[in-house]
Amino acid sequence: MYPQNRMRRLRNSENLRNLVSETSILREKLIMPVFINENIKKPEEIGSMPGIYAYPLESLDSYCEKLGKAGIRNVLLFGIPSEKDSEGSQAYDENGIVQKAVPYFKKHGFLTITDLCMCEYTDHGHCGIIRNNDVENDTTISYYGRIAVSQAKSGADVIAPSGMMDGQVYAIRKALDENGFENIPIMAYSAKYASVLYGPFRDAAQSAPSFGNRKTYQMDPPNRREAMREIQRDIEEGADMIMVKPALFYLDVIREARERFDLPLVAYGVSGEYSMIMNAIKNKLLSENAIEEYVTSIFRAGADMVITYFAQYLGEKFEARMGR
């Protein structure tokens, strides 16, 4: 004999399934990463990330219009400078590529988040200042403060430090406050793992380390309890938002962070996740429905917002559903 409460009753139609859905993808909660490259004259597709482009400054107005039509209003900016040096000086130059790009997005009404790191700007590809063949932590975070102030001066709405240096949030908060930017929030890359999933990004940002790796400062993938300590430390140092990166292989970390901390929680669906899914779709191993299922899984794990290279695609798909 069947029970009176049949679970299938609420699955009878798409409208009914949508009505009782526990998790939804909202475009207001999606953040599109954007690469701005000082070395190109027109948009160039990134070979390892099909459908994702790097843009010169000259094409940003048209790209902003396209992204806006898809209903995406939040961007995370990464810059590829024309010149690199050992101190990543273009990262804190007030005429640097990201600093020049910010006003384009602000003009079009985007919430503009600037990634703060040095790996795209150093000639060695590491995330800070090298001393004795390793990144020197305390010297590096003093540079991070300079970068944060220069990005804030350019009009950035949110500063997102990704270098995984101890004390970086405190150093950035102090520098911002001392320079009159006490109202600029910090989106901290709190639990950023030394993952194999960053390969396509490093291709796009031209930021692969020229020697060694980043395992001495990014987190070891087996560790979950350590991630909670990293997040707690960033909160104590003044973070306004916390992040887990990558997302797909770390859904358990996202879930635990959601249960333990009350701050807005960001998850970064990184380049390797994007490329794996796109290649599976291209080779007809998966349908495009995998994209929504993938992003839904990140929200279901507990993320309040998701940085994803699928943001524009999802926005355009939602627009098409509404017949616009």
d(C-alpha 323, C-alpha 42), whole Å: 31
Mean predicted confidence (pLDDT) in 253-275? 98
d(C-alpha 217, C-alpha 126), whole Å: 10
Closest of 160, 154, 150, 165 to residue 185, by C-alpha: 160
Are the beta carbons of 268 and 243 closer than 8 angstroms?
A: yes
Q: Which amino acid is at 30?
A: L
Residue from 245, 282, 284, 317 carrying the catalytic annotation: 245
Helical (H) or strand (E) element with 37: strand 30-37
Are the beta carbons of 204 and 52 closer than 8 angstroms?
A: yes
d(C-alpha 110, C-alpha 52), whole Å: 19
Structure tokens at 205: 């940002």
24-321: CATH topology: TIM Barrel (3.20.20)
Identify whether 69 is a catalytic site residue: no
Q: What pLDDT sits at residue 213?
A: 74
Mean predicted confidence (pLDDT) in 45-71? 96
Q: What pLDDT sits at residue 132?
A: 87
Q: What pLDDT sits at residue 296?
A: 98
- Mean pLDDT over each residue of the chain, to the nearest integer: 94
Q: What pLDDT sits at residue 1?
A: 62
Q: What pLDDT sits at residue 62?
A: 97
Residues 6+ apart with CB under 8 A from 210: 123, 124, 125
For the cut 70, the answer to whether the pLDDT of residue 211 exceeds it is no
d(C-alpha 290, C-alpha 69), whole Å: 23
For the cut 80, the answer to whether the pLDDT of residue 271 exceeds it is yes
What's the DSSP call for residue 85? B
∠ CA 186-190-196, nearest 5°, is 125
For the cut 80, the answer to whether the pLDDT of residue 208 exceeds it is no
pLDDT band for position 185 (50/70/90)? very high
Domain ranges within the chain, ordered by starting residue:
24-321
Identify whether 317 is a catalytic site residue: no
pLDDT band for position 212 (50/70/90)? low
pLDDT in tens, 100-135: 999 999 999 999 999 999 999 998 878 889 888 889
Are the beta carbons of 266 and 307 closer than 8 angstroms?
A: yes
CA quadruple 242, 199, 209, 37: dihedral sign:
negative
Mean predicted confidence (pLDDT) in 240-263? 98
For the cut 80, the answer to whether the pLDDT of residue 210 exceeds it is no
At how many degrees (to 10) do helices 60-69 and 97-107 cross?
50
As a whole-number percent, the residues of the chain with pLDDT over 90 amount to 84
More confident residue, 5 or 17: 17
Closest of 310, 63, 119 to residue 128, by C-alpha: 119
Residue from 153, 192, 282, 284 carrying the catalytic annotation: 192
Q: What pLDDT sits at residue 133?
A: 85
For the cut 70, the answer to whether the pLDDT of residue 45 exceeds it is yes
Helical (H) or strand (E) element with 31: strand 30-37
Are the beta carbons of 163 and 218 closer than 8 angstroms?
A: no
